[in-house]
């Protein structure tokens, strides 16, 4: 077998594997509209109907003849490529009518007929791998009425097959982005139109904020704002890079693309997640004398969002030992940068039998795959001879000072008996 023949077989096998991996149809929900005239004006009632998004050629039999079928015929824009390798059960599909306010705008790519009916398509991946928004076009002989088209929608029956094609496509592969502080996350937005030299306007803004973070019109050729590469934008990549994330950067970002009379948008959710920094106010080994009192503090600082759990525990030869169940926790306190801090503390006053016991502060947070732990080992020492000497010296100093005070005058005669009572009582020192 010649090399060329082998290569040809491999190409056909590869194409066969690829095509077998492509979805041929999707169950969808079609949101239809019914117009009702009331005393207060026009009321639009949404009606949810079952539908099928089917990929094929004009004249193909519908997969489900009793359901509204949107038959998507080949065009420059290929949605199926974005769905390759994805299970149908992982997708949600929504279709709806799209209004152009009753005006007729000639679309550069000619259809079978002169006029068009427009529909919007949304396909979302359940595991947040991607979201797709598209405009699909059905060619029709019926001219627009000149009034808002939602007042005169063409009736669509359950058994109808609407042959259409994709005219404009938006996609994001980052529906949700999780980012730490002081980073530069990229919010993906890709778009394409079925014809060249389209008058395109691209805009990024934060939800509920009218000010544009970035805006570009192909007519002017001058961008407003930053964060999007103009070189990549020319190829349909409108990915936006946030310059420096802070807590206030969190929120919903919207990428919108306008090609008259169509305006589509996709939202990207940015979540700030900063892990806590955990520390103790003691070293890994804490040495105390018996009955010496010490406050131990565990601190978690600089985390976001709030959901932190802190727990003190201890382990030794037996379960009996200094109690940490009574540890006091401060509650969440906000830092100036919008992050939070928390502390947990307890007092320890050990006995000799507590020597070798280990105390652990454990901190959990949504950013951590496993809790952060900080441990110290307690070493308990008996008071040494130097401590006894130190106590005796202290008593002698106190005695001398009090004696000098008593000898200053006769009016302090009661001091002799006071000194004797404090320093020499029942034959021993106090």
| SS3 assignment, position 420 | helix
Q: How is residue 152 written in tokens?
A: 């005169």
At 205-253, the pLDDT tens digits run: 998 777 899 999 998 889 999 999 999 999 999 999 999 999 999 999 9
CATH fold label, 175-272: Immunoglobulin-like (2.60.40)
At 391, the pLDDT band (50, 70, 90 cuts) reads: low
The whole-number pLDDT of residue 41 equals: 72
pTM assigned to the model? 0.80
- The pLDDT of residue 161 is 96
With beta carbons less than 8 A apart as the criterion, state whether 131 and 266 touch. Answer: yes
Q: What is the mean pLDDT of residues 316-332?
A: 74
In this chain, the answer to whether the domains covering 175-272 and 277-381 adopt an identical fold is yes
Residue 301 tokens, joined: 């600082």
Q: So what's the pLDDT on residue 266?
A: 97
Residue 319 in tokens: 């379960």
- What mean pLDDT do residues 398-410 have? 68
How would CATH label the architecture of 20-172? Sandwich (2.60)
Cβ–Cβ under 8 Å, residues 343 and 308: no
Q: What is the mean pLDDT of the chain?
A: 86
Residue 23 CB coordination number (10 Å): 18
CB under 8 Å to 195, separation ≥6 — which residues? 76, 108, 109
Asked if 132 and 264 touch (Cβ cutoff 8 Å), the reply is no
Report which of 287, 327, 334, 333 is spatially closest to residue 310, judged by C-alpha positions: 327
pLDDT digits (tens, 9 = 90+) for 97-153: 998 877 777 888 888 888 899 999 999 999 999 999 999 999 998 877 766 777 778
Question: Which sequence spans correspond to the domains of the chain?
Answer: 20-172, 175-272, 277-381, 390-423
Is a pLDDT exceeding 60 seen at residue 204?
yes
Q: Is the pLDDT assigned to residue 338 strictly greater than 90?
A: yes
The per-residue DSSP string of 130-189 comes to: -EEEEEEEEEESPPP-SS-GGGSPPP--TT-EEEEEEEEEEEES-SEEEE-TT---EE--
pLDDT band per the 50, 70, 90 thresholds, residue 8: very low
What's the CATH architecture for 277-381? Answer: Sandwich (2.60)
Q: What is the pLDDT of residue 114?
A: 86
Percent of the chain having pLDDT more than 70? 84
User: Which DSSP string do the residues of 42-105 spell out, in sequence order?
Assistant: EEEEEEEEEEEEEES-TTPPPSSTTSEEEEE---S--HHHHTTT--GGGEEEEEEEE--TT---
What are the φ/ψ torsions at residue 402 (nearest 5 degrees)?
Answer: -70, -35
Provide the total of helices (H) and of strands (E) in the chain, helices listed first.
Answer: 5, 25
Q: Considering only 119-133, 214-228, 313-327, 415-429, which range has the smallest mean pLDDT? A: 415-429
Q: Residue 277: CB partners within 8 Å, gap ≥ 6?
A: 300, 301, 302, 303
């Amino acid at each position: 077998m010649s090399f060329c023949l082998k290569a040809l077989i491999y190409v056909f096998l590869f194409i066969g594997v690829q095509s077998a991996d492509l979805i041929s149809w999707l169950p969808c929900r079609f949101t239809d509209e019914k117009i009702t005239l009331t005393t207060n004006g026009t009321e639009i009632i949404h009606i949810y109907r079952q539908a099928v998004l089917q990929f094929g050629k004009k004249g193909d039999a519908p997969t489900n003849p009793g359901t509204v079928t949107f038959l998507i015929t080949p065009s420059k824009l290929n949605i199926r490529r974005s769905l390759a390798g994805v299970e149908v059960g992982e997708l949600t599909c929504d279709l709806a009518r799209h209004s152009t306010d009753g005006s007729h705008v000639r679309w550069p790519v000619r259809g079978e007929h002169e006029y068009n009916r427009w529909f919007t398509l949304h396909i979302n991946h359940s595991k947040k791998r991607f979201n797709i928004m598209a405009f699909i076009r059905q060619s029709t002989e019926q001219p627009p009425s000149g009034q808002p088209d939602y007042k005169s929608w063409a009736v669509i029956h359950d058994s109808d097959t609407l042959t259409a094609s994709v005219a404009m496509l938006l996609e994001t592969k980052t529906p949700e982005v999780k980012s730490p502080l002081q980073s530069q996350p990229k919010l993906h937005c890709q778009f394409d139109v079925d014809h060249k030299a389209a008058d395109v306007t691209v805009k990024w803004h934060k939800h509920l904020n009218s000010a544009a973070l970035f805006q570009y019109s192909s007519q002017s050729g001058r961008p407003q704002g930053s964060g999007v590469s103009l070189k990549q934008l020319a190829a349909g990549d409108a990915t936006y890079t946030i310059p420096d994330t802070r807590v206030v950067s969190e929120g919903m970002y919207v990428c919108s693309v306008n090609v008259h009379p169509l305006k589509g948008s996709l939202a990207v959710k940015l979540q700030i997640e900063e892990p806590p920094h955990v520390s103790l106010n003691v070293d890994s080994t804490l040495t105390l004398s018996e009955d010496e009192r010490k406050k131990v503090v565990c601190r978690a600082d600089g985390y976001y969002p709030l959901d932190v759990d802190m727990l003190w525990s201890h382990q030794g030869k037996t379960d009996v030992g200094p109690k940490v169940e009574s540890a006091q926790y401060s509650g969440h306190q906000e830092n100036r940068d919008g992050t939070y801090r928390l502390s947990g503390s307890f007092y320890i006053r050990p006995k000799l039998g507590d020597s070798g016991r280990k105390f652990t502060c454990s901190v959990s947070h949504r950013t951590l795959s496993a809790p952060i732990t900080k441990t110290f080992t307690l070493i308990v020492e008996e008071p040494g001879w130097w401590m006894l000497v130190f106590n005796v010296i202290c008593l002698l100093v106190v005695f001398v000072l009090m004696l000098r005070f008593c000898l200053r005058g006769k009016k302090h005669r009661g001091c002799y008996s006071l000194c004797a009572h404090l320093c020499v009582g029942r034959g021993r020192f106090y």
